[in-house]
Amino acid sequence: MRDDAMDYMKGLLVIGMVYTHIMQFFSDVDIYPTTIFSIELFNLITFSGFIFCFGYVNELAYYRKRFSDVYMRMLVTSLKTLVTFYISGLAYQIYVNSMPLDSNTIVPVLLIQEIPGWSEFLLSFSLIMLMGLILFPIINWLKVRKILFWLVTFTLLFSTFINYSMIDSPYLGLLIGTELFPTFPVIQYLPFYLIGIYFAKYRIIFKWKYVIGSIVGTAVFTLYLIRNEGQLPMRFPPSIYWIVGSTFCLYIYYLISKFVKKQKYELALLKGMGKNALFYLVMSNIFIFSLDNVLGTKIIGPWYCLLFTFVLLLLISFLNSISTYTKRRT
């Protein structure tokens, strides 16, 4: 069973992430100060949004079935996502860091001893899926006990208060956060995964209590900004203010996606991006890294970055359509 609304939502998240990456590589906040707002907004909502979508989709595809029927599919999905991390990470090392394609470059990435930039989110996607597989029976037990479910979900938020400076293992850092390198720790972002499962399980769309709850989360983030004169809370590793800051925006994304799904027309391009989100993310990274290597210090403004984003996404859509057509022919 598939919910097209999630494809639309993931499509919106793909656009935001690619646009952000393009601005980070080809624009300059000192020359174009307005770009910083767009960059931080999409940074705030994109990863959390994808994790929410993963939870929602996994409830429909896996958690409603027997573990014996789905565990291999979940494991394969996690491994496929890990491969996309390897591809993106090696592309970053080769094009951006100008490292040779040899064992000294490849092995540390394969062993996750080195986490290349702008690729760490793909590794976290893989780990979230693996965590969902490991916790399969617990999640199924928990989701039908609503009060306990929300107690566990909110309790997980307090993992953001750990002393990250004490985490000196890169592998442990991927799970609970570290100051050694940028990462999206699994435990801190797991509440979004669980909420996605809950929304799918109980077919939640618009309810005032969730509107108010999402506003409270973003209000906490906003109050932090006000009290700290616009200084953003920690993102790497995440503070609780960063984690809850996206809640209202994500609920709006969710409602928009549900609304679009009900319309007579179909936004095929946006839907296709959502269906093939990992392909778009890894291909966009490869293009951006290689173009950064060629263009060097080329600086463009936010509107040109937006145009660049849509051109790139159209190109990737064309490549995706070719591969899909080839599969059908064979």
Predicted confidence (pLDDT) per residue in 71-83, tens digit: 999 999 999 999 9
pLDDT band at 322 (very low <50, low <70, confident <90, very high): confident
Burial class (CB in 10 A: 0-12, 13-18, 19+), 169: exposed
Answer whether residue 318 shows pLDDT above 60: yes
Answer whether residue 2 shows pLDDT above 90: no
Answer whether residue 10 shows pLDDT above 80: yes
Provide mean pLDDT across the span 229-254.
Answer: 96
Rounded Cα–Cα distance for residues 4 and 14 (Å):
15
What global pTM score does this model have?
Answer: 0.95
Answer whether residue 37 shows pLDDT above 80: yes
Rounded Cα–Cα distance for residues 122 and 82 (Å):
7
Q: Residue 158 is encoded by which pair of tokens?
A: 């307090």
Q: Is 11 in contact with 46 (CB distance < 8 Å)?
A: no
Backbone angle region of 269, left / alpha / beta, with phi > 0 → left and psi within -120 to 50 → alpha: alpha
pLDDT band at 8 (very low <50, low <70, confident <90, very high): very high
pLDDT by residue (tens digit) across 274-310?
A: 999 999 999 999 999 999 888 767 789 999 999 999 9
- Residue whose tokens read 């969902």: 132
Q: Is 64 in contact with 139 (CB distance < 8 Å)?
A: no
Of 28-32, 33-37, 85-89, 322-326, where does mean pLDDT reach its minimum? Answer: 322-326
Identify the pLDDT of residue 321: 87
Q: H/E/C letters for each residue in the chain?
A: CCCHHHHHHHHHHHHHHHHHHHHHHHCCCCCCCCHHHHHHHHHHHHHHHHHHHHHHHHHHHHHCCCHHHHHHHHHHHHHHHHHHHHHHHHHHHHHHCCCCCCHHHHHHHHCCCCCCCCCHHHHHHHHHHHHHHHCHHHHHHHCCCHHHHHHHHHHHHHHHHCCHHHCCCHHHHHHHCCCCCCCCCHHHHHHHHHHHHHHHHCCCCCCHHHHHHHHHHHHHHHHHHHHCCCCCCCCCCCCHHHHHCCHHHHHHHHHHHHHHHHCCCCCHHHHHHHHCHHHHHHHHHHHHHHHHHHHCCCCCCHHHHHHHHHHHHHHHHHHHHHHHHHHHHC
Q: Greater confidence, 107 or 296? A: 107
